[in-house]
Amino acid sequence: MKAGKILLILPVLLFLAALLASGQSVPQLIAYQGRLTNASGIPLDGVSVDLTFRFYSAETAGALYLTVSQPGVQVSKGVYNVLIGSGAITPGTETTLAGVFQKHGEVWMSVQVGTDPEMTPRSLITSVPYALQAQSVQSVDASAIYAALEADPDHDSDGIKNSLIGGSDCNDNDPNNWISCATCADNDMDLWFSGCDAYVTLPGPDCNDWDPTIYPGAPELCDGYDNQCPGDPGYGIIDEGCPPGSWQKIGSDVRITNDVNNRWTPSLAWTNSEFGVSWQDERNGNAEIYFARISGTGVKQGSDVRITNDPNYSVESSLVWTGSEYGVSWSHDCDGNGEIYFARISAAGVKQGSDVRITNAASSSGIPSLAWTNSEFGVSWQDERDGNAEIYFARISSAGAKIGDDVRITNDANDSLAPSLAWTNSEFGVSWEGIYFARISSTGAKIGDDVRITNGAAPSLVWTGSEYGVSWSGNEIYFGRVSSAGAKIGSDVRITNAANYRAAPSLAWTNSEFGVSWFDGRDGNAEIYFARISSAGAKIGDDVRITNAANDGITPSLIWTGTEYGVSWGDSRDGNYEIYFARIGWVP
């Protein structure tokens, strides 16, 4: 990440990892918690960063004892947790973490984010029995916890030692239960445990064990969320005692394109450092797919990149980021009917290789929705090869080669249109107009039957980590939840209630709540709006108007960056339709 975009706040926690160096008084692994914000002080959320930790003999200069590289560290609401030592170790004067603290009474640690310069000042770290603590910051006294466990290593007297101190009993209050370890967890590594009945010496229960900034007695962070738990003073009040703030547009609308004729239907992706956007573009007379890069602060990078160059139209692009490059899919009229195509684009915006034809069938195939699985792509689309429109699916390798055959997902007398595809880390979910839902295995096999969610159009589906959220239009914008097994959860939630029309919602997940953007006719012309939705499906606050311009803004594409949203749309304020972009975030 670019220097100045990420700031390190002092670490709030260092404590003992469960893995101890045998026979030693200090750990081989250190569980470390720190905090990252952007240049505006807003905590990062839902992103991963590469961290490098260096251990020195002095606050400045000095001998380098050891370097530890920790790639792909997840950041949630500004907080990251990492086991220092589980990554690659580059020896300096020492070869192990244990050696650093066994041989040296004074150790200074630095942190580096990505390719940014090493941060200053370094932190003085001291070794104490069974724990490492950072001086000048408050730390949990893990040594007392472990001393209590060592004093009573088999509390239920079943002959099996507590798993936290090297045994295998993960329920040390019940002599008949010593293997149900999953019931006790600290998923967010904030030292507040959930699901435990054995570890009476450990803090708990944690009211939100997936967010390290929420636990009993947590301070209010002024981040647009309630950081406290039931029973805490101020629980249920967002940003209690903080200066007034709100979710709103940050800065001005940014014009991305400027050319003759029209541009439509952008698809936005986030790379952890910048945005990519693709769209269909008529500057060449026929519609072609174009691409551009946008910085994290909303500044266009370089020129528009023409992705397709073929007779007839190329439309309805869907863009995703893989971690190293983009994948884009679209519908192309190559034989008098639309077929689904795919291409790769480098992080620098350079097209990689040739267009890949995914479908080859009679009648039209259109409106693709692309998803990345961390190893390959999945794509779903509407297809008329069977006489009416049905939903189909296919797999595409990371190198852009089609895997296997097209898979027919629906088989209905009426049309099935406009799919939205999401990946769960083990399977796909797809929703389409109706509103219907189905599951698809990682190998492309349909799982179970179609599930009718409600009645509406233009669904937008996302995965939260435990369930799906889906938004759709039906003159108003609606929202619903779907379980991982494909069962509807609760009732439809009406998000908007205003005059005239609303359409084309785009849904995003932040790791704690949903955001949705749509175009809205309440102001006489179409404008872009935004709203927040809780993880339980309750609307949060009022609708936020993003655009305020003559003529129309339509078909938004919304993405979450970790600290804020990016949104792109087609806009006719300049006489013809151009691609625009804006940022949406919490402004204290």
- Cβ contact 279:294 at 8 Å: no
β-sheet with 376-383: strand ranges across: 365-372, 376-383, 390-397, 402-408
Q: In terms of C-beta density within 10 A (0-12 exposed, 13-18 middle, 19 or more buried), how is residue 25 classed?
A: middle
Count the neighbouring beta carbons within 10 Å of the beta carbon of residue 541: 12
Q: What is the percent of the chain with per-residue pLDDT over 90, rounded to a whole number?
A: 59
- The CATH number of 246-587 is 2.120.10.30
- The CA distance from 385 to 404, in Å, is 18
Helix then strand then coil, in percent of the chain rounded to 5, is 5, 50, 45
- The CA distance from 149 to 138, in Å, is 23
pLDDT of residue 13: 33
- Cis check for the bond before 121: say yes or no (omega within 30 of 0): yes
- Cβ contact 60:16 at 8 Å: no
- Contact partners, residue 360, CB within 8 Å, separation at least 6: 339
pLDDT of residue 172: 67
In the beta sheet, which residues pair with residue 514? 509, 533
Nearest CA among 352, 372, 369, 349 for reference residue 294: 349
pLDDT of residue 144: 52
- Cβ contact 145:114 at 8 Å: no
- Contact partners, residue 79, CB within 8 Å, separation at least 6: 12, 33, 34, 35, 36, 43, 188, 190, 212, 213
- The CA distance from 195 to 174, in Å, is 14
| DSSP structure string for 69-130 | EEEEEEEETTEEEEEETSSEEEESS-SSHHHHHHH-S-EEEEEEETTSPPPSSPEEEEEETT
Count the neighbouring beta carbons within 10 Å of the beta carbon of residue 524: 8
pLDDT of residue 451: 97
Q: In terms of C-beta density within 10 A (0-12 exposed, 13-18 middle, 19 or more buried), how is residue 124 classed?
A: middle
pLDDT of residue 509: 97
H/E segment holding residue 327: strand 325-333
pLDDT of residue 198: 47
CA atoms within 13 A on the CB side of 295: 9
In which residue ranges of the chain is CATH 2.120.10.30 found? 246-587
Q: In terms of C-beta density within 10 A (0-12 exposed, 13-18 middle, 19 or more buried), how is residue 412 classed?
A: middle
Tens digit of each residue's pLDDT (9 = 90 or more) over 280-323: 999 999 999 999 999 999 999 999 999 999 888 999 999 999 99
Both tokens of residue 388? Answer: 């009416």
- Cβ contact 97:19 at 8 Å: no
- Contact partners, residue 19, CB within 8 Å, separation at least 6: 27, 28, 29
Both tokens of residue 317? Answer: 């692009």
Residue ranges for the chain with pLDDT beneath 70 = 1-29, 31, 39-42, 126-149, 163-166, 168-185, 187, 189, 195-203
Length of the chain in residues, anyone?
Answer: 588
Number of H helices, E strands in the chain: 2, 36
CA atoms within 13 A on the CB side of 488: 18
Tens digit of each residue's pLDDT (9 = 90 or more) over 43-102: 777 788 889 999 999 999 999 999 999 888 888 777 787 778 778 899 999 988 877 877
Residue 244 phi/psi, 5° resolution? -55, 140
3.40.50, 2.60.40, 1.20.120, 3.30.70: which CATH number matches 7-140? 2.60.40
Both tokens of residue 533? Answer: 């939705």
- Cβ contact 42:223 at 8 Å: yes
Distances (CA, A) of 160 to 40, 145, 171, 174, 182: 51, 19, 10, 11, 17
Pairing of strands 338-346, 325-333: antiparallel
pLDDT of residue 17: 33
Count the neighbouring beta carbons within 10 Å of the beta carbon of residue 348: 10
In which residue ranges of the chain is CATH 2.60.40 found? 7-140
3-state secondary structure (DSSP) of residue 50 = strand
Nearest CA among 51, 155, 159, 161 for reference residue 113: 51
- The CA distance from 394 to 354, in Å, is 19
Look up tokens 């967002």; give the residue: 238
- The CA distance from 138 to 12, in Å, is 7
Provide the 8-state DSSP code for 42: P
Q: In terms of C-beta density within 10 A (0-12 exposed, 13-18 middle, 19 or more buried), how is residue 334 classed?
A: middle
Look up tokens 């692309």; give the residue: 370
